[in-house]
């Protein structure tokens, strides 16, 4: 379906006035006595109890940070502790109604939310399932420590477990919730619906959208809440996340079964400060934060401000918002007003705010005021409140004693071979389907697909049976080979979805997806807003929840717009979770040419520099298909580079051409495309074809036999074939379209020198693109490596070629000059 809305010029140019509906501000007015119908005394005491637990926990950490001890036990906690003393009611109010299927994603200041959500889960779960969770989580390591001196029943044990698991994580212990790999700002515990908390502020703004998308697309129960600080409303991921979350298509184009808005609450924890900057009056212009919902969706995102100093007001708001979401009218926005009495971190002297302001908020401290209200309403006595404090302090002290003791709670040994991080940087799984219980939702049987039919008449190889070269139009090209793998996986994995800019009717930026539109319903293939950050960030959230997203950024250059999502989120959550979570995300990016400086860069080096990403760059249809199958079967994030220059290129190398069926090419294995004996040329991406040309000239004119190796992958990378080749040829040249300085080629060259120093007659020579901007098409040949550049480099730096004079100098003096000038 090419168009949903007819853009009528008369309508677009009509004069009128757009009216916004009133935005509720603190409209909850009930007293505690009035709420005695809704809550039992036990419920109300639980609210007080949970707030008290957060207060005790955070007070303990504050003391540890400020005094280096807690109740006389010394401990030097070197890591961060962003405390939320004062904000307890907003966290407890939010968690009160949530079940374990409701997932929260938060920020650097989330200890309170972790405890509140955890306590709420413990309250709701059956003892049997609580015990099973604790026994199975990381083999029961945390439970074994806690159960030794636990008191009471399973629920009491679970509370000890929650407090200890969070604290041990904060102190970097291997019994912590994330095996000590997350720490204070990243701690989380999925079995209770406590999902990753993000030290990149606003980071949850788009990740949470992907989580909600997963629930919607795959029919999973529960809602998602993004807890975002008020100052982080200025972050790109939050705005992009809101754009992606409020697309009209959920309510207009998606099929009946999937129609409706995302089950998502953007909850702004509005404590009126960033670290020291004030959004209101200084760094932002909204004044009332709830206002920002108004422009995002026609329902104004049902935005409202709620008093986060009153837990009952927050519970009431969550209750109403949940119902709106259930009716399919999400997402919604909450501006939850609160205040932190503690500094941004314990060392913060609060120089940016008046003492009188802190005191004014302390006067209405929710822990005290709510407690007094409970006493006034005869729900409990003052001494009951004291008991609650003692109870919470005691649990915290018990957890503290165990968490600081290295005998009881050791840290992971990361210095040994096979350490936790060596095991968890990649999960290296192989799962063709992430949900084998469901059938993939498709619109057509495979063989009725128009593109499948069209491709069936094409040659699988660049040459016919008689050895004659065929025209590209008659052959399966890289674009088609990618389609075949992706298409097949859509019929295997029901959780697989693809989205990005122009993914549906356009057929993907470069027509790889042509034919998918006919095959897939909207919720499995859709266009996104031009929000590269949110495209990647939401893919992270979708995968964290258990799905497999395939996302596309039209040009590799646009990765700059998604830097955080690619490099801080996608790459890191597997290992930051201690290996608990998987990240089966495939990000397709294309490397352009002809379009100048901002559309023609090869950024493989940036991706390979960041630990945690697999990076591949196939250059032939056979490899593209096999690597795509591997990427879409694996459980790791893969940045899948494609070159726009060669989308039509047929299969020249693999005997028999591109197989029709499924096959996997292992990520990390280079491929010898042509054997030779005098010189090895290792290429990444499309330079393979220029190396083929250069090799032809070198052989025919200069008698140098070249062995061509196509790297295919950059991370991981097995050097065996390259070393074996160098042992034979004793010389190697490396080439790719990436700027030479700091490139993956340079890393490869340095490693080859290290691994095969004694086998080499000359140092490895790198022929990358120049360290310039990519100039306009008409003159870009001077920038990208050409066959002549390869031959020049061979002549100048490896084997002098008789009678040859280089087209461009590339001797040591010239290279030193370029380096001196930074060009």
Ligand X SMILES: Cc1ncc(C[n+]2csc(CCOP(=O)(O)OP(=O)(O)O)c2C)c(N)n1
Binding partner of 200, given ligand X, Mg ion, none, CB within 5-8 angstroms per partner class: ligand X
**Which of 270, 230, 222 is closest to 104 using CA atoms?**
222
Q: Would you count residue 229 as binding ligand X (CB under 6 A)? A: yes
x/- map, 191-210, ligand X, by CB under 6 A: --------xxx---------
CA 561, 567, 568, 572: dihedral to nearest 10 degrees?
150
Q: Would you count residue 729 as binding Mg ion (CB under 5 A)? A: no
Residue 314, token pair as written in the block: 């927050």
Binding partner of 167, given Mg ion, ligand X, none, CB within 5-8 angstroms per partner class: none
Q: Which stretch binds Mg ion (CB under 5 A): 265-273, 423-431, 445-453, 619-627?
A: 265-273
Query: From the list 193, 229, 549, 621, which residue makes contact with Mg ion (rule: CB under 5 A)?
Result: 229
Binding partner of 199, given ligand X, Mg ion, none, CB within 5-8 angstroms per partner class: ligand X
User: In the complex, what is the shortest distance from the CB of residue 287 to Mg ion, in angstroms, rounded to a whole number?
Assistant: 15
Residue closer to ligand X (CB basis): 342 or 786: 342
Helix runs in 26-126, H state only: 41-67, 88-95, 111-124
User: In the complex, what is the shortest distance from the CB of residue 292 to ligand X, in angstroms, rounded to a whole number?
Assistant: 14
Residue closer to Mg ion (CB basis): 227 or 680: 227
Residue closer to ligand X (CB basis): 263 or 274: 274
Binding partner of 208, given Mg ion, ligand X, none, CB within 5-8 angstroms per partner class: none
Q: Would you count residue 230 as binding ligand X (CB under 6 A)? A: yes
User: In the complex, what is the shortest distance from the CB of residue 273 to ligand X, in angstroms, rounded to a whole number?
Assistant: 5
Task: Decide: residue 52, CB within 10 A, 0-12 exposed, 13-18 middle, 19+ buried.
Answer: buried
The Cα–Cα gap between 249 and 88 comes to 37
Residue closer to Mg ion (CB basis): 227 or 729: 227
Query: What is each CA distance from 390 to 73, 152, 194, in whole angstroms?
Result: 18, 16, 26
390 Cβ contact partners less than 8 Å away, ≥ 6 residues apart:
none
Q: With the C-alpha atoms ordered 553, 556, 561, 564, is the resulting torsion angle positive or negative? A: positive
Query: From the list 50, 169, 230, 488, which residue makes contact with Mg ion (rule: CB under 5 A)?
Result: 230
**Which helix H or strand E contains 499, and what residues bound it?**
strand 497-500
Residue 638, token pair as written in the block: 């893969």
Residue 254, token pair as written in the block: 């998606």
Determine which one of 103, 108, 258, 599 is catalytic: 599
Residue closer to ligand X (CB basis): 114 or 496: 114
x/- map, 326-345, ligand X, by CB under 6 A: ------------------x-
Give 568's Cβ-side CA count (13 Å radius). 19
Binding partner of 162, given ligand X, Mg ion, none, CB within 5-8 angstroms per partner class: none
Q: Would you count residue 231 as binding ligand X (CB under 6 A)? A: yes
Query: What is each CA distance from 650 to 178, 467, 481, in whole angstroms?
Result: 47, 14, 9
Residue closer to ligand X (CB basis): 230 or 532: 230
Residue closer to ligand X (CB basis): 39 or 352: 352
Helix runs in 125-271, H state only: 127-136, 141-147, 154-170, 204-218, 236-245, 249-252
Q: Would you count residue 275 as binding ligand X (CB under 6 A)? A: yes
**Which helix H or strand E contains 616, and what residues bound it?**
strand 614-616
Residue 153, token pair as written in the block: 């029943």
599 is catalytic: yes
**Which of 790, 747, 756, 752 is closest to 615 using CA atoms?**
747
Q: Would you count residue 271 as binding Mg ion (CB under 5 A)? A: yes
Q: Would you count residue 402 as binding ligand X (CB under 6 A)? A: no
Helix runs in 268-354, H state only: 311-326
Q: Would you count residue 109 as binding ligand X (CB under 6 A)? A: yes
Q: Would you count residue 273 as binding ligand X (CB under 6 A)? A: yes
Q: Which DSSP string do the residues of 3-28 spell out, in sequence order?
A: -SS---HHHHT------PPP--BS--
Q: Would you count residue 501 as binding Mg ion (CB under 5 A)? A: no
Q: Would you count residue 750 as binding ligand X (CB under 6 A)? A: no
Residue closer to Mg ion (CB basis): 290 or 726: 290
Q: Name the residue number minimizing CB distance to Mg ion.
A: 229
Residue 678, token pair as written in the block: 């005098």
x/- map, 55-94, ligand X, by CB under 6 A: ----------------------------------------
User: In the complex, what is the shortest distance from the CB of residue 282 to Mg ion, in angstroms, rounded to a whole number?
Assistant: 12
The Cα–Cα gap between 197 and 227 comes to 9
Q: Would you count residue 592 as binding Mg ion (CB under 5 A)? A: no
What residues line the site for Mg ion (CB under 5 A)? Answer: 229-231, 271, 273
What residues line the site for ligand X (CB under 6 A)? Answer: 108-109, 199-201, 229-232, 269, 271, 273-275, 344
Known catalytic residues are 599
């Amino acid at each position: 379906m090419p168009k949903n809305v007819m853009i009528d010029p008369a309508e677009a140019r009509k004069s009128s006035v757009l009216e916004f509906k009133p935005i509720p501000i603190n409209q909850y007015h009930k007293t505690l006595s009035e709420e005695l119908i809704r809550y039992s005394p036990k419920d109300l005491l639980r609210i007080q109890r949970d707030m008290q637990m957060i207060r005790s926990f955070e007070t303990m950490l504050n003391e540890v940070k400020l005094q280096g001890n807690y109740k006389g036990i010394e401990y030097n906690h070197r890591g961060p502790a962003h405390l939320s003393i004062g904000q307890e009611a907003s966290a407890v109010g939010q968690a009160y109604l949530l079940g374990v299927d409701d997932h929260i994603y938060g920020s650097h200041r989330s200890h309170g939310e972790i405890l509140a959500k955890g306590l709420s889960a413990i309250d709701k779960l059956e003892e049997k399932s609580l015990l099973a969770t604790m026994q199975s989580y990381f083999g029961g390591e945390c439970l074994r420590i806690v159960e030794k001196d636990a008191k009471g029943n399973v629920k009491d044990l679970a509370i000890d477990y929650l407090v200890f698991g969070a604290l041990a994580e904060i102190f970097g212990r291997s019994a912590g919730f994330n095996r000590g790999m997350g720490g204070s700002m990243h701690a989380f515990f999925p079995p209770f619906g406590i999902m990753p908390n993000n030290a990149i502020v606003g980071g949850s703004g788009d990740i949470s959208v992907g989580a909600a998308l997963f629930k919607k697309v795959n029919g999973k129960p529960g809602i998602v809440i993004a807890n975002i600080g008020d100052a982080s409303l200025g972050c790109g991921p939050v705005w992009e996340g809101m754009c992606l979350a409020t697309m009209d298509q959920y309510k207009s184009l998606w099929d009946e079964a999937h129609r409706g808005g995302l089950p998502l609450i953007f909850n702004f924890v509005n404590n009126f400060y960033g670290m020291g900057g004030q959004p209101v009056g200084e760094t932002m212009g909204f004044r009332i934060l709830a206002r920002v919902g108004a422009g995002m969706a026609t329902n104004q995102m049902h935005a409202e401000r709620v008093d986060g100093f009153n837990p009952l007001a927050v519970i009431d708001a969550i209750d109403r918002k949940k119902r709106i979401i259930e009716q399919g009218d999400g997402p919604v926005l909450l501006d939850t007003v609160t205040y932190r009495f503690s500094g941004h971190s314990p060392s913060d002297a609060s120089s940016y705010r008046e003492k009188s302001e802190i005191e004014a908020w302390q006067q209405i401290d929710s822990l005290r005021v709510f407690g007094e209200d409970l006493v006034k309403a005869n729900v409990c006595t003052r001494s009951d409140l004291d008991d609650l404090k003692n109870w919470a302090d005691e649990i915290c002290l018990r957890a503290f004693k165990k968490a600081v003791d290295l005998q009881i709670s050791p840290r992971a040994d990361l210095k040994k071979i096979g350490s936790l991080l060596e095991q968890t940087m990649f999960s290296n799984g192989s799962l063709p389907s992430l949900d084998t219980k469901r059938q993939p939702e498709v619109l057509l049987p495979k063989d009725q697909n128009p593109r499948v039919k069209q491709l069936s008449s094409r040659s699988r190889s660049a040459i016919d049976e008689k050895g004659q070269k065929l025209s590209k139009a008659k052959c399966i090209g890289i674009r088609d080979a990618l389609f075949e793998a992706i298409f097949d996986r859509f019929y295997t994995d029901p959780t697989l979805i693809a989205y990005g800019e122009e993914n549906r009717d356009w057929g993907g930026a470069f027509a790889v997806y042509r034919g998918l539109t006919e095959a897939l319903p909207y919720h499995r293939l859709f266009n996104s807003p031009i929000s590269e950050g949110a495209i990647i960030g939401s893919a992270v959230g979708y995968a964290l929840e258990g799905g497999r997203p395939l996302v596309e950024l039209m040009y590799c250059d646009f990765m700059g717009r998604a830097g955080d999502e690619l490099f801080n989120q996608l790459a890191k959550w597997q290992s930051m979770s201690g290996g608990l979570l998987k990240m089966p995300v495939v990000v397709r990016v294309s490397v352009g040419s002809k379009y100048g400086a901002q559309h023609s860069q090869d950024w493989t080096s940036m991706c390979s520099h960041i630990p945690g990403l697999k990076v591949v760059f196939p250059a032939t249809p056979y490899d593209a298909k096999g690597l795509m199958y591997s990427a879409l079967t694996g459980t790791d994030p893969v940045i899948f580079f494609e070159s726009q220059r060669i989308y039509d290129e047929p299969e020249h190398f693999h005997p028999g051409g591109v197989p029709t069926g499924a096959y996997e090419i292992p990520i990390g294995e280079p491929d010898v495309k042509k054997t030779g004996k005098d010189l090895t040329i290792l290429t990444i991406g499309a330079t393979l074809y220029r190396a083929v040309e250069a090799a032809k000239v070198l052989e025919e004119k200069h008698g140098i036999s070249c062995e061509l190796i196509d790297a295919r992958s950059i991370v991981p990378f097995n050097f065996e074939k390259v070393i074996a080749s160098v042992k034979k040829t004793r010389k190697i040249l490396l080439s790719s379209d990436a700027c030479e300085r700091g490139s993956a080629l340079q890393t490869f060259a340095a490693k080859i020198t290290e691994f095969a120093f004694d086998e080499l007659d000359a140092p490895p020579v790198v022929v990358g693109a120049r360290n310039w901007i990519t100039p306009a098409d008409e003159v870009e040949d001077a920038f990208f490596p050409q066959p002549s550049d390869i031959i020049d480099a061979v002549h100048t730096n490896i084997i002098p070629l008789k009678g040859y004079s280089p087209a461009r100098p590339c001797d040591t003096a010239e290279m030193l000059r370029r380096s001196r000038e930074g060009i």
